[in-house]
Amino acid sequence: MKIIMLGAPGAGKGTQAIMLADKYGIPHISTGDIFRSNIKMGTELGKKAKEYMDQGLLVPDELTTDLVVDRIHQEDCAKGFILDGFPRTIPQAECLTEALAKEDDQMDYAINVDVKDESIINRMAGRRACPNCGATYHLVSLKPKKEGICDRCGEKLILRDDDKPETVKKRLEVYHEMTQPLIDYYEKEGILLTVDGSRDIEVVFDDITRVLEG
């Protein structure tokens, strides 16, 4: 089962990806993890990626795709995998489609976790993080035992800059401009599954697995 997760920042696609990976025993793959792993191991692809990253440049689509394709050919991906954070653009999607087609292969599903911008802004504004141990909480759905204090280490919780409404709005604008077209792309490919991500996590998860197992 080969799955791509789509959705705006804060829509909950990462949470669903982790749950799906756990249920089906397949790896949850993010491009960030791939970059870090290849750079740490000093692979040729990792060295090339690092050259761009050190200059503050985006890693080109073809190189990013090469890194992803290299990763999905590893043994633990034999039964499938879940891509989270890739592809982000139409050129990346086309590179991935072409790379898989060379091996008479293709993706099975592109799952779009759909949440309205207003809901995402409100959801992320309620997040609180511990600057010491990294634990995360939410003012509504995952409150700390003591208001404003981390359960794990007792540090005072903060609202991270990237969770502030003005920052979230900018991130959503970038998403709609660059990533939204992927929804149309995968709909044309006939593999798009859109779910309402505004509901409880378990309800969304049940919706997805019902289709995957249907």
Alpha helix ranges (H) inside the chain: 13-24, 31-41, 44-54, 61-72, 90-101, 117-125, 165-178, 181-189, 201-212
71 is catalytic: no
User: Is the Cα dihedral 16, 155, 133, 159 positive or negative?
Assistant: positive
Annotated catalytic residue, options 2, 13, 71, 123: 13
13 is catalytic: yes
Type of residue numbered 129: A
Burial of 210 (0-12, 13-18, 19+ CB in 10 A): exposed
127 is catalytic: yes
87 neighbors 93 (Cβ within 8 angstroms): yes
In terms of phi and psi (left: phi > 0; alpha: psi -120 to 50; beta: otherwise), the region of 43 is: beta
Annotated catalytic residue, options 71, 88, 123, 128: 88
Annotated catalytic residue, options 50, 164, 171, 199: 171
Annotated catalytic residue, options 48, 50, 160, 199: 160
Picking from 10, 14, 16, the residue whose alpha carbon sits closest to that of residue 125 is: 10
160 is catalytic: yes
49 neighbors 59 (Cβ within 8 angstroms): yes
Q: How far apart are CA 44 and CA 34, in angstroms?
A: 13
In degrees and rounded to multiples of 5, residue 157 shows phi and psi of -80, 150
Write out the catalytic residue numbers: 13, 88, 127, 160, 171
